[in-house]
A and B are shown apart, each in its own frame.
Chain A
Amino acid sequence: MKYRPTTRTFRRLSQLSFLILFFVLFRKTDYSGSDTLPYAVNLFFRWDPLVAATVMLATRKVILILLPSLFVILLTVILGRVFCGWICPMGTLLDWLDKGIHPQKHPAVHLRKIKYLLLIVLLISSAFSLQLIGFLDPFSLLVRGAAFSIDPMLNWFFTGFFDTIYAHAPAVADHVTEPIYSVLKNGLLPFRQSYYFLSSFSLIILIVIGALEKLGKRFWCRNLCPLGALLAVFSRWSFFRRIPATSCKNCPKCAPNCRMNAFDPDTGKLHHEECNLCMDCVDDCVNQSPRFAFTKRNNPVPVDLSRRAFVGSALAGIALPVVAKVNAESRIPHPLLLRPPGVENELEFLSRCVRCGECMKVCIENALQPCFFESGYQGMFSPRLVPRLGYCEFNCTLCGQVCPTGAIPRLTLPAKQKAVIGIAVFDINRCLPYANGIPCMVCEEHCPTSKKAILFRDKLVVNRMGEQALVKQPYVREDRCIGCGICENKCPLPGESAIRVFTTNRDNTGADEGYSG
């Protein structure tokens, strides 16, 4: 029989291409020998209308780099939720998962209003400048899961495997394994092993989303995804639809197999806003009766959202920003909470940051790490600099380049080199020239500002042997220190560094009165 491609073939090709695009962009979110990244590696966030809506509401500004999201809106207004069915990498991964997980048939339909409720909470709280999208945006979840856990895990696994052969197997084995390893290193694996806080948490979120699939195909997309909800709302205007808008009576094919469970189980009517245009119903129909075509916009069934539920979620959306305000963290900002370079105002930063994880993925020193509760629950997964793990590289501006919302401003190199992240403070109880009279100047050596922010005085001290010794004792010139943290990172003391970077008082703490002055 001659092979004829069905719509399914094209859909799968499209899904695969966008998934590959997603991972290519993910891999390219790294330094590549040039100071500027050649690609828009943050594309998936820039065309995400949920990101655009919440960020623009929260900041009350039109953010030009988010305008590609209009394209997705336009696509949805014409074709419906084609994004969910043909493009979204989360959807693609869930479709693949279904092949192994065998989702339960006839899933519940009453849960699908949850996604609208979540959308309303997100939109209303963002109008009050509270940005919660990071908990639910599918790309944020996916990039964070990939960046914080899956990618480091794969690297750990492969390097562990090849290193063991390198270290223990006879040298002949290296001739086979080392070329394979270098191929992997040069494309598929990350440049270095990275480590992240919340790596297990980020993976668990993805595992839960995957496990929910057991309760029905596309459980996440149908019931929880706020981006799906937003697109569903817009798809009610679309005019490319399935004809007829009901399932055939007594036919076991399309309605039970519909991955979005879009047919009403009682009446058989199609909830058009649930349909993601996978078109399996066309391919699988024994009579070839349904088709998709441009047609009149009629929505035979209302969106599953009662007025009561709408008001309830709107009230929650108002309550959450207020409860964030009375959170104690807003009174006593965490003394070690260092934001990426160029971030000046904590509140504005948190309202712009969508927790996409791009900055933490791209940070070449693995210095940017996700927050847990350091800035309250509302700051979870937002980036912070952890100098003992990695420092801010003086000549690097990548985090500002990948930020899709401008939460980390895109700075020129001279501006970035003056951007104050924090201030380094010596612990003279532990610092060797002070505490033990031992010469050590590693922090000063690494200090990157061209007039060094770490200087030293010659001091006659009595060292551990009881001898008089002349040592150089370092100190910080506060007006020159930018808080890059290389001193804290390179301090040769075991455990905690003898020089630590603290937040400055320069009005980037988010506290407008009291503790921070």
Chain B
Amino acid sequence: MDRRAFLEEIAKWSAGLFLTSPQFRITQELLAAEQPLPKVAIGTGTDPAALVKLVLAPFGGMKAFVKPGNRVVVKPNIGWDRRPEQAADTNPEVVKAVVSLALAAGAKEVFVFDNTCNEERRCYHQSGIKPVLEGMKNVRCDYIDKRKFVPVNIARGKSIHKWLFYRDALEADCYINVPVAKHHSLARLTIGLKNIMGVIGGHRGKIHHNIGQNLADLNTVIRPAVTIVDATRILLRNGPQGGSLRDVKVLNTILASPDVVAADAVATTLFGLKPAEIPATRAAAAMGLGEMDLARIQQIRV
């Protein structure tokens, strides 16, 4: 190769490199303003099953989220070895209602699981969630299988960039987030955004070192189709596991929203707090994961 050919080649290659189509990472922060106002449905009543149906109605019912043949994940909070009335885990009646509606909407299979904090068998039984789902067809309420945690690169993560996620959650056609709203001393409250802790593996304690941003980062990976917040009874103190009925307040309330941040924001008001006081809500809103400004959330009482 002579000098002329060499320079020619160089020119061609560099032209090629420069002229390839440019990539822009348009972050959702920039697009947020164009989105319509997110809706949050709030209902009150003593029959959890009927209530779940009611709060989903404004969005077109469960059919809006679950398509026939879908593999659906219903992710309650089963983190603690506590009885339903102690308000540390999602109300089993709410879980059952969500699962039944998903099946009625044509779900092929519904998976219910959580990576628990206490011993998993005790949590699943004591929370009432495993017993209440017993005998339901096409419903699997299995314990976490450690082999199913896969490393996921968190492309949009600001604080964490890689973490282990549960495969069933990643592969779900429809992921329904069913958190319980309760007190948490570090995160202030644990609602929808924090419920993602139950589908991740690894050393989860490390999440606490920058809990707001870390939870927001994790929530960029799994975006629930709908978040149904169980506030049938809420834990006001000594969260996240409580234990004493003194700390429990019965509200008979359920919220639903396709926007997890908006659902958390509205649920926060049940505790007399402002959404911006919750680090995770703040961080998630800043990343454009949803709306936390109550004035910009359309609250629908059902």
By a beta-carbon cutoff of 8 Å, the part of chain A in contact with chain B is 31, 33-34, 163, 166-167, 191, 364-365, 393-396, 432, 438-442, 444-446, 448-452, 456, 472, 490-492
Contact = CB atoms under 8 A, between A and B. Distances in A.
B84 to A, nearest CB: 14
A445 B187 CA distance: 10
21 contacts: A33-B121, A163-B147, A166-B147, A191-B121, A364-B119, A365-B119, A393-B118, A394-B81, A394-B118, A395-B122, A396-B119, A396-B122, A439-B186, A439-B209, A442-B205, A442-B208, A445-B117, A445-B208, A452-B238, A492-B206, A492-B209
A31 B119 contact: yes
A248 B210 CA distance: 86
B121 A364 contact: yes
B243 interface: yes
Nearest to A440: B208
Contacts of B208: 439-442, 445, 492
- 7 smallest beta-carbon distances between A and B, as pairs: A492-B205, A450-B243, A450-B244, A441-B186, A442-B205, A33-B125, A364-B119
Contacts of B25: none
Contacts of B242: 450
Nearest to B118: A393
Given A396-B119, A445-B240, A446-B117, 4 more contacts: A33-B121, A440-B205, A445-B208, A450-B246
Given A31-B122, A364-B122, A441-B186, A490 B241 contact: no
B203 interface: yes
B119 A393 contact: yes
A320 to B, nearest CB: 39
A490 B197 CA distance: 15
A140 B246 CA distance: 45
B211 interface: yes
Nearest to B80: A448
Nearest to B186: A441
B293 interface: no
A494 to B, nearest CB: 9
A451 B239 CA distance: 10
Contact of A491 (B117, B205, B210, B243): B205
Interface in B16-51: none
B121 A450 contact: no
Contacts of A191: 121
A191 B244 CA distance: 30
A400 B240 CA distance: 28
Which of B122, B184, B244, B247 has its CB near the most chain A CB atoms (within 10 A)? B122
B70 interface: no
B126 interface: yes
A33 B185 CA distance: 30
B160 to A, nearest CB: 14
Nearest to A191: B121
B278 to A, nearest CB: 15
B185 A441 contact: yes
A191 to B, nearest CB: 7
Contacts of A396: 119, 122
A492 B210 CA distance: 13
Nearest to B190: A445
Contacts of B119: 31, 364-365, 393, 396
Contact of A439 (B184, B211, B240, B246): B211
B205 A395 contact: no
A448 B241 contact: yes
A33 to B, nearest CB: 5
A449 B209 contact: no
A395 B205 CA distance: 22
B247 A450 contact: yes
Contacts of B125: 33-34
A383 to B, nearest CB: 18
Contact of B185 (A166, A167, A365, A472): A472
Which of A31, A396, A432, A441 has its CB near the most chain B CB atoms (within 10 A)? A441
Given A444-B185, A450-B247, A451-B244, A167 B147 contact: yes
Contacts of A446: 117, 241
Interface in B115-139: 117-119, 121-122, 125-126, 130
Contact of B122 (A163, A393, A445, A491): A393
A395 B186 contact: no
Interface in B187-214: 203, 205-206, 208-211
A430 to B, nearest CB: 14
A451 B237 CA distance: 9
A448 B186 contact: no
Which of A33, A364, A439, A445 has its CB near the most chain B CB atoms (within 10 A)? A445
A252 B209 CA distance: 79
Contact of A472 (B186, B209, B240, B247): B186
Contact of A490 (B185, B205, B211): B205
A33 B141 CA distance: 14
Interface in B154-197: 184-186
Contacts of A472: 185-186
Which of B121, B126, B244, B247 has its CB near the most chain A CB atoms (within 10 A)? B121
Nearest to A162: B147
Nearest to A493: B205
Which of B117, B130, B205 has its CB near the most chain A CB atoms (within 10 A)? B205
Contacts of A365: 119
Contact of B238 (A163, A451, A456): A451
Nearest to A446: B117
A364 B122 CA distance: 9
B168 to A, nearest CB: 14
Nearest to A396: B122
A191 B122 CA distance: 13
B122 to A, nearest CB: 6
A365 B119 CA distance: 7
Contacts of A33: 121, 125, 130
